[in-house]
Amino acid sequence: MSETPMLDGPRYGPVAGGAAQQLMILLHGVGADGKDLIELAPHLGQIFPNAAFVAPNAPNRYDQAFRATNGFPAASASKPTRSRR
């Protein structure tokens, strides 16, 4: 049995201060990381001022780009299954 990887990444807010009343989790796509999406948080915070935002980095290194992550090892997916992911 494998261990469940810990996810962490950039965080923001809440804009209103104090304890968060909502949590918005921003998930990136293949080859990106949490920094790409957390830049949306200040804008979303204007609409959701009581929300905390987190953009976790995927647990696996993306093997086809420099300093990028992926939710699963891309090399482990065969061509027929890649289109379903």
Tens digit of each residue's pLDDT (9 = 90 or more) over 60-71: 766 655 555 555
85, 24, 80, 29: which is closest to 50 by C-alpha? 24
- Tell me if 80 is assigned to some domain: no
pLDDT in tens, 37-54: 999 999 999 999 999 999
pLDDT for position 73: 56
37 belongs to a structural domain: yes
What letter does residue 4 receive in the DSSP assignment? P
Domain that includes residue 44, residue range: 20-60
Residue 45 covered by a domain: yes
2-44 pLDDT, tens digit per residue, is 677 788 899 999 999 999 999 999 988 877 788 989 999 999 9
**Cut 0.75: pTM above it:** no
> With 80 as the cut, is the pLDDT of residue 56 above it?
yes
Domain-located, residue 12: no
Is 76 within a domain? no
Task: Report the number of distinct structural domains present in the chain.
Answer: 1
Q: How far is CA 73 from CA 30, 44, 46, in A?
A: 10, 31, 36
Q: Could you tell me if residue 7 is inside a domain? A: no
In a domain, 29, yes or no: yes
User: For residue 54, which of 72, 29, 33, 71 has the smallest C-alpha distance?
Assistant: 33
